[in-house]
Amino acid sequence: MLQGSFYSIREAFGRTLVKLGEEDKDIVVITADVGDSTRASYFREKFPDRYFNVGISEQDMVNFAAGLAAVGKKPVVADFAMFTMRAWEQIRNTTGRMNLNVKFTVTHAGYSDSGDGSSHQALEDIALMRTIPNFKVVVPADAAEVERSLPVIIKEQGPIYYRMGREYSPSITTGMDYKFEIGKAYVLKDGDDLAIMGAGVVLWDALKAAEELEKMGISTAVINVPTIKPIDENTIEYYARKTGRIVTVEEHTIYGGVGSAIAEVVVQKYPVPMRFIGSITFGRSARSQRELLDYYGINAENIIKKALELMK
């Protein structure tokens, strides 16, 4: 089921970015000394004149990108999710207030920087970024969805926060035939009794859980919600009505993240019982992202447990 390293999320990002750079000469890439780690370095190799490493200085990186956008360039910031948060106020006060066309494409989100531990694991970024007016927030599910969605993200006018992990990318959307649209949720599996909704690589666990629940006679839908803002209210409401129960799953804090965004829709459109799976504490070091997801219960086993609670 797991793909080789070639299909890592960051590899898909780096390679797709180069293709986009060939099509649009206005795209410039800015990083804060993590070009190799984010794979933005592939862009540097191809277009050295359109690649800027500002050094280890995220606040400067953010407003430098904003300045480039102000004169018509299309800046793509490539950075770690954690350290982009460091410049949240610059993102809010310059890019957000001026509604500038800057794309924040961040890697190493969630537990994906497993070994480096809690200082490097971004579990609060979706909550922070979705509160900024003018911003859109997108979380692709896997490497295939990066290849499918990044061109759409870069072509969209206005600021976007685009959140990725590092290597780990179990196949979720590979082979699926759909056109990625900002603001749209996608049905990975249909079902009538319960809906699992979420974003990112943890949807693999959602699909595994759904498989097990089906064996128990529980017809389970799995919905991929890659755009957290603006969120697909219609699909969420439809499945709230259809199934009457929702479990959300995310590699992010449950306070203000994907589950919260879904709940905001559900309580206003069609309230149903919900359960939230995600982080509630700082992380720790481990040898792999998978170990951490299991350690913190962001996995199929826990999804099944919560689903059965809702079925009682």
Query: For other proteins, which stretch binds (CB under 8 A), given 59-67, 187-195, 196-204, 284-292?
Result: 59-67
Query: For other proteins, which stretch binds (CB under 8 A), given 72-80, 180-188, 203-211, 283-291?
Result: 72-80
Q: For 93, which DSSP code? A: I
**Closest to other proteins by CB, 51 or 276:** 51
Whether 198 contacts 250, CB under 8 Å: yes
Q: Which value, to the nearest 10 degrees, does the dihedral of the CA atoms of residues 81, 82, 87, 93 take?
A: 60
Q: What are phi and psi of 276, to 5 degrees?
A: -120, 130
For residue 64, the minimal CB distance to other proteins (Å) is 4
- 58 carries an active-site annotation: yes
For residue 157, the minimal CB distance to other proteins (Å) is 16
Query: Applying CB under 8 A, which of residues 90, 235, 243, 253 lies at the interface with other proteins?
Result: 90
Which amino acid belongs to residue 302? N
d(CA 106, CA 123): 13
Q: What are phi and psi of 251, to 5 degrees?
A: -100, 65
Q: What are phi and psi of 12, to 5 degrees?
A: -60, -40
- Residue 134 touching other proteins (CB under 8 A): no
Q: Is 135 exposed, middle or buried (0-12, 13-18, 19+ CB in 10 A)?
A: buried
Q: Which of 58, 124, 250, 251 is catalytic?
A: 58
- DSSP-derived 3-state class of residue 188: strand
Query: Applying CB under 8 A, which of residues 27, 29, 34, 65 lies at the interface with other proteins?
Result: 65
**Closest to other proteins by CB, 73 or 130:** 73
For residue 91, the minimal CB distance to other proteins (Å) is 11
Q: Which residues bind other proteins (CB under 8 A)?
A: 28, 49-50, 52, 54-55, 57, 59-73, 75, 89-90, 93-94, 97-98
Where in the sequence numbering do the catalytic residues fall?
A: 58
